[in-house]
Structure 1
Amino acid sequence: MTTPIVIGSERSEIGLPAAMSILRDGGTALDAVEEALSRCEDNRADLYVGTGGLPNARGEVELDASVMVGSTRAFGAVAAVKGYPHPISIARAVLERLPQHALLVGQGAELFAAECGFQTADLLTEESLAEWRRALAPAQAQSVEGENTSATSGDVAYRVAALELVRRLAPHEGPWGTINVLALDASGELVAGVSTSGYPYKYPGRVGDSAVPGAGNYCDLRYGAVACTGRGELSLRATGARVVVDRLAAGDDPETACAVMLEDAACLPDAFRAELRVLALTPDGRHGGAAGQEGSTYAVMSADDDAVRFRPRRVVTA
């Protein structure tokens, strides 16, 4: 019998105790991952996942999530979902109830969620709306309201300037980014799950790595489960999660495998470069992570733990 363990990225500690409770009772890694991420999605203080996630450039909250099972490599994901507070549960439903597909987006994902009976909710909270307005205030201050008027060259120039401002906005101060949860249950099953509201102020319809297998996460029971957070476009281009699994297959320890991927991603030209982070958990319970900043950690909870522990990630500088 395998000793259960669950690990997660920064801010996953909100959900890890509930996940471990499931694992201690003999529950599945899939149930544990879904429960942990659902709790994170309900955390109104978190502006980067679920209800209260920062909206896109149009002021609309769009959510992405995915889940992958190691023994079968079955994958379910949704992206650009509006109005549903638990995208991780919809992603699991895709995996289990719609096995002919792996990824649903936008209105199709919302239609499927409605068919499955998931409840809708207003995802834009007062806090996330206030943060969105605060960040865009310099652009909004230049706007001129009119009635029944046609756009002029000045209007066009304003819109271009506003878009450029949105593109260079940094995340608000404090921990931010996608949340990853990786779990190993007593039966030896491995599951990787990811949930996010995506990059703040993103172009509507933008989908990052979180909903894409091999990029935002990958799970193969032979070698390990991996998930990424941070600059999703880099992980998409580097096929980040799959590279880490391949390194595990080649014999690297989890921390080294994660670091090798970040070193490779750092070689890609990117005018909008931001930090990328990664976690890995193996079938025998070993784990590790890497990041681009000093002080970066990840959360761990084993069956013997009374509380979540935090472990440092290896730092990889470009």
Structure 2
Amino acid sequence: MTDPVIIGSERSEAGLPTGMEVLSRGGSALDAVEAAMRRCEDNLADHYVGTGGLPNAQGVVELDASVMLGSSRSFGSVGALRGYPNPISVARAVLERLPQHCMLVGEGAALFAEENGFTTAELLTDEARALWRAQLLAAGAAESAKSVEGENTAAVAGDRRYRSESLDLVRRLAPHEGPWGTINIIALDAAGEMCVGVSTSGYPFKYPGRVGDSAVPGAGNWCDLRAGGAACTGRGELSMRGGTARTIVELMAGGEQPAEACRLGLADAATLPDEFRAELRALALTPDGRHGGAAGQFGSVYAVMTTGSTEPELHPRAVL
């Protein structure tokens, strides 16, 4: 028997107690991750996952999520999913009901969700819409202050500014104060199985159809019971290029402690040239219950619960 543990990135505290309830009564790591992540996805105060997530450049919420099992390295994910509030559950369904595939995106992911009886919902809340519009107005005001050369009419100039802005907002948009980004949850159950789950609404103002690392094995999610599991949040294009989650697990397989493995994985990704660079964070868990995380700035934390916990306990991340 293994002592169950569940860990998560910032803002996972909304769901970790639910996940630990599942583990405490002998439930599986997969059940715990799904239950915990659904609570996070349903948290309307969180604008980076599930319902209430900030939309893409067209004003449409698109969600990515994945789950991976350590014993078999089975993987299921969805990307750019519209209209379904709990992508973590659809990703699990891909893993269990569509074993010939690992990933579904866009219209195909929505079709699969419909075929499997998942309920649709309006994902863009009034609060998220207001945030989206306010940020657009602020960016538009800044752009309007610039002169546009070679244009005969204000209408043509304005149209071109708008199109340019849609593509440029990812670079220019700064996140709000406080924790933000993808949510990672990793669980180890009493039977010794491990599961990594990742869910996000991705970058606000992203190009429609953009899929980030949360849906990609080896990038934002990797789980191998021989060494452990890892997940990433932040600049997903970097972790896709660096294979960061898998790099961290391989470092643990080589003997590194989880926090140091995370730090080294982030250090490797930091060597990649990227004019859109933003912070990348990671966390990891081993099959014997050791855990750790790393980030690019001081003060970053991750949350942990064991069977003896009454609430999530915050632990500092190592700093790159």
Residue in structure 1 matching 2:235, options 208, 231, 234: 231
Aligned match of 1:9: 9
What is the match of residue 151 of structure 2?
A: none
State the alpha-carbon separation in 1 of the partners of residues 32 and 138 from structure 2. 43
Normalising by structure 2, report the TM-score: 0.94
- 1: CA distance, partners of 2:247 / 2:294: 14
Q: Is structure 2 residue 75 aligned with structure 1 residue 71? A: no
Separation (CA, whole Å) in 1 of partners of 2:217 and 2:283: 15
Structure 2: gaps (5+ residues) = 145-154
Task: Confirm or deny: 8 A CA contact 1:167 1:202 kept in the other structure.
Answer: no
Query: Does 2:290 correspond to 1:275?
Result: no
CA distance in 2, matches of 1:52, 1:204: 17
| Equivalent of residue 187 in structure 1, options 181, 191, 194 | 191
Q: Which residue of 1 aligns with 2:266?
A: 262
What is the CA–CA distance in structure 1 between the aligned matches of 2:53 and 2:158, rounded to whole Å?
Answer: 32
Letter in 1 for 2:13: E
Deviation of residue 133 (structure 1)?
A: 0.3
Residue 155 (structure 1) shift: 2.3
Residues 166, 205 of structure 2: 8 Å contact kept: no
Which of 227, 246, 249 lines up with 1:245 in the alignment?
249
How far did residue 113 of structure 1 move?
A: 0.2
Aligned to 2:163: 159
Shift of 1:165: 4.0
Q: Give the equivalent residue in structure 1 for 2:52.
A: 52
Structure 1 residue runs of 5 or longer lacking an equivalent are: 143-150
Q: Which residue, 198, 202, 206 being the options, matches 1:198?
A: 202
User: What letter corresponds to residue 55 of structure 1 in structure 2?
Assistant: P
Measure, in 2, the Cα distance between the counterparts of 1:137 and 1:153: 17
Give 1:164's aligned amino acid. D
The TM-score with structure 1 as length reference comes to 0.95
Q: 1:138-183: CA deviations, max 9, x gaps? A: 35565xxxxxxxx735522442245334531111222100000000
SS in 1 for 2:213: coil
Within 1, Cα distance between the matches of 2:287 and 2:195? 10
Equivalence for 2:124 = 124
Secondary structure of the 1:93 match is helix
Alignment CA distance shift 1:93-1:156 (3 Å): same
Given that residues 49 and 63 in structure 2 are in contact (C-alpha distance below 8 angstroms), is that contact kept between their aligned partners in structure 1? yes
Any conservation in 1 of the 2:65–2:77 contact (CA below 8 Å)? yes
Conserved 8 A contact 2:293-2:318? yes
CA distance in 2, matches of 1:56, 1:187: 40
| SS at structure 1 position matched to 2:65 | strand
Does the CA-based 8 Å contact 2:140-2:165 persist in structure 1?
A: no
Structure 2 letter corresponding to 1:215: A
Identity percentage over the alignment? 68
Q: 1-side partners of 2:129 and 2:283: how far apart? A: 31
Counterpart of 1:305 in structure 2 is: 309
**Which residue is 2:175 aligned to?**
171
